[in-house]
């Protein structure tokens, strides 16, 4: 059982395709691993083992999927973030308002993954409605970092990141508005990919044309991330911004990569945000190692000076449109940060919203032009290492006090405002053994280029071989 949970997702899928292991055996292995580790971590909020076994039996009996092809994931168990509906499975969105909610149908992304051979084994913990970069809520409590269980795993896809880091599942889903795939990936030393908007079809959703938030894969390495992205993509009639599946699988970009030629590195996005000195130093050193691929690495950054203001306006507008009616009817039953978001949204005028929309168009054009010169932009994936799990949000870095609970991840949401795809890649550890990740940003719709380069660098860094790990309490945490 232990040997199965240490396999990469690709290796496990290969065994499934050859018939050397069954989906039921993988489910049993994952359940045993969850039972052995999750008491210290609280990553997986709800298990759906019998549903998973029933699905496994259908796959083993040769039930056809909607594509008429053999399912790409072959019966691989995964975890799904608790923001996504899974038919017949408790889905809370991390909120006491929905503590007993059991949807009748799955959402588009879950249906797509299941049609491609994924078996949903568990729901992964998330902050209330996915807002916040520390995974805790009033329904299930805190999720802890496996590298040091006194620390946060980040958020909002924190449960997903912990599940793959510790071998509870081979793959997990995440979503990302401001940082939610990238920060937990960095804090847990796994890979999280924020795809280009529309790459992964979403829905049903109250704001189908919104392109700030996306859904994407989390995995232990770049190849597994590409494998999962291939199983998630494709246009869907219910998602008006969804993109068609590309002719060439993303996994091909990992197996046949093209090395980048010119790379830009910026520790702080041109002075947009403070960064802890040790994190900046580790990331700068990691970025320079791209030279081992033959790339020229230069200190450079596109002009993203207005990205913070743009995101603040559009995020506030998005919150009112998405969650406004729910929060307004339940102000006394949700966390204070959620109510604050609603109040901020009410302040946005039509004039201010129009400015943000125009400014975002100019921002996108500037950054797209930047990628005519550079293949990739690299920054830290988080400006701090993992912090105390009891701290709700970082309020100060290097003497700079942040204005609100989400400004500490400006380095991520500034990239969200550009719409460019971005990947969090493990690149090192602090002196106290806490993970640090690079945010690797690619050109428009450039996930293939991004994954190919990240796969090459993953081999240089060598951190993927460290997973899965057993939970480490603070007293026994060791430098890595």
Q: Where are the domains of the chain?
A: 2-476
pLDDT tens digits, 334-393: 999 999 999 999 999 999 999 999 999 999 999 999 999 999 999 999 999 999 999 999
State whether residue 145 is helix, strand or coil.
Answer: strand
Identify the burial level of 115 via C-beta atoms within 10 angstroms of its C-beta, where 0-12 means exposed, 13-18 middle and 19 or more buried. Answer: middle
The pLDDT of residue 66 is above 70? no
User: Contact 234/242 with Cβ under 8 angstroms?
Assistant: yes
pLDDT value of residue 263? 98
What digits encode the pLDDT tens for the residues 452-472? 999 999 999 999 989 999 999
**Res. 26: pLDDT tops 80:** yes
Cis peptide preceding 156, ω within 30 of 0:
yes
* Structure confidence by residue, pLDDT tens digits, 220-270: 999 999 999 999 999 999 999 999 999 999 999 999 999 999 999 999 999
DSSP string of 152-209? E--SSSHHHHHHHHTTS-SEEEEEESSSTTHHHHHHHT-EEEEPPTTSB---S-S-TT
Given a cut of 90, whether residue 474 has pLDDT beyond it is: no
| Per-residue confidence (pLDDT) for residue 480, from 0 to 100 | 45
pLDDT over 90 at 422, yes or no: yes
Answer yes or no: is pLDDT of 479 > 70: no
Q: What CA–CA distance (Å, rounded) separates 452 from 459?
A: 11
| pLDDT on residue 200 | 98
Element (DSSP H or E) covering residue 426: strand 422-429
Would you state the torsion angle of the CA atoms of residues 28, 32, 38, 44, taken in this order, to the nearest 10 degrees?
10
Mean pLDDT of 85-93: 98
Q: Which listed residue (95, 157, 160, 180) is catalytic?
A: 180
pLDDT at 260: 98
Residues 138, 377: contact at Cβ < 8 Å? no
Q: Provide the CB-side half-sphere exposure for 404 (13 A, CA).
A: 15
| Rama region for 261: left / alpha / beta (φ>0; ψ in -120 to 50; rest) | alpha
Mean of pLDDT over the chain: 96
Work out the pLDDT band at 88, boundaries 50, 70, 90.
Answer: very high
Active site residue 175: no
Helix, strand counts (H, E) of the chain:
15, 17
- Residue 313: phi and psi, rounded to 5, are -70, -50
pLDDT band at 62 (very low <50, low <70, confident <90, very high): confident
Is 81 annotated in the active site? yes
pLDDT > 90 fraction of the chain, expressed in percent and rounded: 96
For residue range 342-354, what is the model confidence (pLDDT) as tens digits? 999 999 999 999 9
Task: Point out the catalytic residue in the list 45, 81, 157, 175.
Answer: 81
Cis peptide before 468 (omega within 30 of 0): yes
Instruction: For domain 2-476, give the CATH superfamily.
Output: Amidase signature (AS) domain (3.90.1300.10)
Greatest C-alpha distance within the chain: 62
Locate 112 and state its tokens.
């797509």
- 478: pLDDT strictly greater than 60: no
Q: Among 45, 95, 106, 156, which one carries the catalytic annotation?
A: 156
pLDDT at residue 68 greater than cutoff 60: no
pLDDT in tens, 159-172: 999 999 999 999 99
């Amino acid at each position: 059982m232990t040997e199965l949970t240490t396999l990469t997702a690709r290796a496990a899928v290969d065994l499934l395709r050859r018939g050397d292991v069954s989906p039921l055996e993988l489910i049993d292995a994952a359940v045993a691993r969850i039972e052995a580790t999750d008491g210290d971590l609280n990553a997986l909020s709800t298990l759906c083992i019998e549903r998973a076994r029933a699905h496994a039996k259908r796959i083993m009996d040769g039930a056809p999927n909607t594509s008429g092809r053999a399912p790409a994931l072959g019966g691989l168990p995964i975890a799904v973030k608790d923001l996504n509906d899974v038919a017949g499975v408790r889905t809370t969105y991390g909120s006491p308002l929905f503590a007993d909610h059991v949807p009748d149908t799955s959402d588009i992304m879950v249906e797509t993954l299941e049609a491609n051979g994924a078996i949903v084994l568990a729901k992964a913990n998330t902050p209330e409605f996915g807002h916040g970069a520390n995974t805790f809520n009033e329904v299930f409590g805190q999720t802890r970092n496996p590298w040091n269980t006194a620390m946060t795993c980040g958020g909002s896809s924190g449960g997903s990141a912990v599940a793959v880091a510790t071998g509870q599942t081979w793959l997990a889903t995440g979503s990302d508005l401001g940082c939610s795939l990238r920060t937990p990936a960095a804090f847990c030393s796994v890979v999280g990919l924020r795809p280009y908007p529309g790459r992964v079809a979403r829905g049903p959703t109250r704001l189908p044309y919104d392109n700030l938030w996306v859904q994407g894969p989390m995995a232990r390495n770049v190849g597994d991330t590409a494998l999962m992205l291939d199983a998630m993509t494709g246009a869907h009639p219910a998602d008006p911004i969804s993109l068609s599946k590309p002719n060439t699988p993303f996994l091909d970009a990992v197996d046949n990569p093209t090395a980048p030629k010119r790379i830009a590195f910026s520790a702080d996005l041109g002075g947009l945000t403070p960064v802890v000195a040790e994190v900046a130093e580790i990331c700068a050193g990691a970025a320079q190692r791209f030279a081992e691929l033959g790339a020229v690495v230069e200190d450079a950054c596109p002009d993203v000076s207005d990205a913070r203001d743009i995101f603040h306006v559009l995020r506030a507008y998005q919150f009112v449109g998405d969650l406004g009616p729910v929060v307004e009817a339940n102000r006394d039953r949700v966390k204070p940060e959620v109510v604050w978001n609603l109040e901020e949204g009410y302040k946005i005028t039509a004039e201010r919203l129009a400015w943000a929309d125009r400014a975002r168009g100019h921002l996108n054009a500037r950054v797209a032009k930047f990628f005519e010169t550079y293949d990739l932009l690299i920054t830290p994936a988080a400006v701090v290492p993992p912090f105390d799990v009891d701290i709700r949000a970082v309020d100060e870095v290097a003497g700079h006090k942040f204005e609100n609970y989400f400004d500490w991840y400006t380095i991520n949401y500034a990239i969200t405002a550009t719409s460019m795809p971005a990947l969090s890649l493990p690149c090192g550890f602090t002196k106290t053994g806490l993970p640090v990740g690079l945010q690797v940003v690619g050109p428009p719709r450039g996930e293939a280029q991004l994954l190919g380069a990240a796969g090459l660098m993953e081999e240089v860094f060598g951190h993927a071989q460290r997973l899965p790990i057993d939970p480490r309490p603070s007293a026994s945490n060791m430098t890595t």
